[in-house]
Amino acid sequence: MSSVAISLLDLDSEEIKCFEAEDYQTRVAKWCAGCGDFGALNAVKRLLAKEQLQPEKMAFVSGIGCSSRFPHYVNAYGFHGIHGRALPIATGLKLARPELDVFVVMGDGDCTSIGAGHWIHATRYNADMTVLLLDNAIYGLTKNQTSPTTPQGYASNTSPRGSVLPALDPLQATLGISNASFVAQTADWVPVHLYATLQAAYEHPGFSFVRILQRCPKFTPDVFLDNVKNPDITELLIHENGVDVPSLEKLYKHRRVHDPKNIDDARALAQRTDMLRLGIFFRDDSLPVYEEVRAVPPVSAEEKIVRLNEEFDRYGV
């Protein structure tokens, strides 16, 4: 039995049911070899097995992009939406079914470009969901166009002479939104840190925003290459209320004790460019979640039919 597997009672068969990590994958993922999406998927499967989440009690919502194929590969309810609209769909789902564990998976173009308005307001609403921004700094599915997070000067099909504008920083942007409650950054090439960060995000009662830096082997293989090769230019943010992985101490010598309750320090660290920082930048578990603020009395199935018929009658000819 896997060390992350815990026994559950299957209420239908009254037998003990134990989920392994691989039980949460429905089919072979169709991403390019070496894509960072595989690392994210593996970390998510480990988390689901650790928590023994039942497939019928969780949902994965995505927009459009390579990362947004996620719902096709996870044994759970899934909604593959349209470009940039994953967050309003997930928010509506959480309001209608607050008992579900909701996960949202987006790419950098999906979230920070066409979906930027939804990203801002979903952060402000603070609905209880785990949000993964898989950031490879390029539009990958549509074959190599500059995204908001593409480094300045980096060439693509739409910017052959290099991206003109400075890259948008999702950490600084999210930390600047009113009512933000959880902001973290991790990377696909540090799988143990990725898993620990997702665990903390899932446990947080509110909108957990996790930026996952990842490599695109086809279009941006060199964007994070220096950080992959040289751990000395990466700093881990550690704290008892954050993420601390002891097994990384020998590899990553730069470790900063940062209290994620301090929003000013979080913003200052996110703004600095002297090195890459991984960890929880900000966390506030005390903020009210949106589905509780917007809670409405339950409506019976019969009452729903009555209300639907009343609406249909309004448009009768």
Judge whether 5 lies within some domain.
no
The tokens describing 67, both together, are: 């990362």
Judge whether 253 lies within some domain.
yes
Rounded Cα gap, residues 216 and 39, in angstroms: 12
Rounded Cα gap, residues 290 and 206, in angstroms: 8
Rounded Cα gap, residues 282 and 284, in angstroms: 7
Judge whether 1 lies within some domain.
no
Judge whether 207 lies within some domain.
yes
The tokens describing 215, both together, are: 């490599």
Q: Measuring CA to CA, how many Å separate 304 from each of 131, 299, 308, 309?
A: 31, 7, 6, 9
pLDDT, tens digit only, all 317 positions of the chain: 333 443 344 444 445 579 999 999 999 999 999 999 999 999 999 999 999 999 999 999 999 999 999 999 999 999 999 999 999 999 999 999 999 999 999 999 999 999 999 999 999 999 999 999 999 999 999 999 999 999 999 999 999 999 999 999 999 999 999 999 999 999 999 999 999 999 999 999 999 999 999 999 999 999 999 999 999 999 999 999 999 999 999 999 999 999 999 999 999 999 999 999 999 999 999 999 999 998 777 788 899 899 999 999 998 87
pTM for this prediction: 0.89
Instruction: Tally Cβ neighbours within 10 Å of residue 292.
Output: 12
Q: Which domain holds residue 282?
A: 27-314
Residue 302's domain is classified under what CATH number?
3.40.50.970
DSSP H or E run through 209: strand 207-213
Q: Which residues contact 222 (CB under 8 A, 6 or more apart)?
A: none
Rounded Cα gap, residues 229 and 232, in angstroms: 9
DSSP H or E run through 14: none
Rounded Cα gap, residues 228 and 137, in angstroms: 16
Judge whether 167 lies within some domain.
yes
Judge whether 36 lies within some domain.
yes
Place of tokens 């590899």: 251
Q: Give the chain's mean pLDDT.
A: 93
Query: For the chain, how many structural domains are there in total?
Result: 1
Place of tokens 């990842």: 214
HSE (CB half, 13 Å, CA atoms) of 142?
15
Judge whether 126 lies within some domain.
yes
Judge whether 9 lies within some domain.
no
In terms of phi and psi (left: phi > 0; alpha: psi -120 to 50; beta: otherwise), the region of 34 is left
Q: Is 276 helix (H, G, I), strand (E, B) or coil?
A: strand
Which of these, 129, 118, 141, 156, lies nearest to 67 by C-alpha position? Answer: 141
